[in-house]
Structure 1
């Protein structure tokens, strides 16, 4: 019995210490290529979700791998759809802008996850090829007041839980901190980010430079502080 318990603990600890396939460098390369080819003309809040096969992930998402994987995506259609507040659905990626309503704004990352069980992301993952890893990127960090509000109607963590076939190796990356959250207490923002990171690894990216917002559960302050982040990018 003692051996069975020890074996179970070993298996559990191994699961907990599995290193995610996606690294800062890999996410940075993917984000940089996608920005250069598809999203560089967007100067407002947008989001994309892109999938790669297990083989592509294992090969390190080099530029050659990325170019081959995304060769079927149409830059013109992406721009036309997103600039007209639509949602682009391609072979490997889905892209959305925000959408203004009469009294509020629906953020781009939420639109890619709605409706439950039949969202653009769900539909993308239901088609071949099977996803081995995935990157979810948003121009702005998910807002505390809606996208990360516990039990809120627009909580993207709850939405992500409804997505079938979401790969274990997955990252949520953002370009800059949402301006309204800059006016909130830092502790409140970090607590919301931590809840997201516990479900999908959180990074901040600028072109091909990305950093983890949490390392072994410890927050990386440069992920929030713009000046520290800028110094990091400058080397």
Structure 2
């Protein structure tokens, strides 16, 4: 009886240990993620008139490139992509789309009545999008989606919008390997909206992060009943007392 209990206890510890390693192995290293986003910003950022403009990118790279101590450089990261080709493609608003070997990117595409958003260009149609094709190239690598400004509430995160990205995020959830959805700034029209609730729609499918520099990146959390981390939300609006 004691021997059986001893074996059972050790088996449980073994399973828990391996489960923990598996969970940890499926998470991006946040310091490496900060360096990756900084690399993207340094090389592929969409700029017009000297000012940064909205763009989004996604990568699907080898798993070790999202794990601790990896430092992306021109010589070891996304070496099949030409930075000038990427920037020229996403700056052209008639198409605004680049599809490479390990990276896809989009600016905003001018339509008759509106601009097609970067996130929608990369993630739709959900079952046959540029993101779908990118993920199919490497089944168990590290996939990171980065958008310069947070997905808009009224279109990208609105289930009733024909251009929403929610179904695409649901599909991405089923992909093996490390996953990270990252943004830097808040979409200017959404800073007073309920991003606590809206961002949870992303977290329901993939981990959400906010990266501001090569040394500053935050896990937004928000799984289950836990709140979205304050670093991933606009500062609360303060009202000054009337004089």
- TM-score of the two chains, using structure 1 as the length reference: 0.79
Can you give the 5+ residue segments of structure 1 that lack an aligned partner in the other structure?
228-235
1:112-151 mapped onto 2 (5 Å cutoff) = 112-127=122-137, 129-151=138-160
Structure 1 position 48, deviation (Å) = 0.1
- Please give the alpha-carbon distance, in whole angstroms, between the structure 2 residues aligned to 1:222 and 1:51: 26
Alpha-carbon distance change, 219 to 36 in structure 1, aligned in 2, over 3 angstroms: same
1:49-198 mapped onto 2 (5 Å cutoff) = 49-58=58-67, 60-63=69-72, 67-85=75-93, 86-127=96-137, 129-162=138-171, 166-184=175-193, 188-198=194-204
Match for residue 219 of structure 1?
Answer: 228
- Please give the alpha-carbon distance, in whole angstroms, between the structure 2 residues aligned to 1:194 and 1:138: 17
Structure 1 position 145, deviation (Å) = 1.0
| Partner SS state of residue 195, structure 2 | helix
| Partner SS state of residue 194, structure 1 | helix
Structure 1 position 196, deviation (Å) = 0.6
Q: Is 1:18 matched up with 2:23?
A: yes
| Partner SS state of residue 115, structure 1 | coil
* 8 Å CA contact retained: 1:30, 1:61: no
| Partner SS state of residue 159, structure 2 | coil
Deviates more, 1:163-172 or 1:94-103: 163-172
- What does the per-residue CA deviation read over 1:157-193, in whole Å, with 9 as the maximum and x for residues that have no partner? 2123345973342111111111111132xxx221110
Alpha-carbon distance change, 191 to 165 in structure 1, aligned in 2, over 3 angstroms: closer
Alpha-carbon distance change, 224 to 99 in structure 1, aligned in 2, over 3 angstroms: same
The CA RMSD measured in Å over matched residues stands at 3.0
Length, aligned pairs only: 215
| Partner SS state of residue 218, structure 2 | strand
| Partner SS state of residue 62, structure 1 | coil
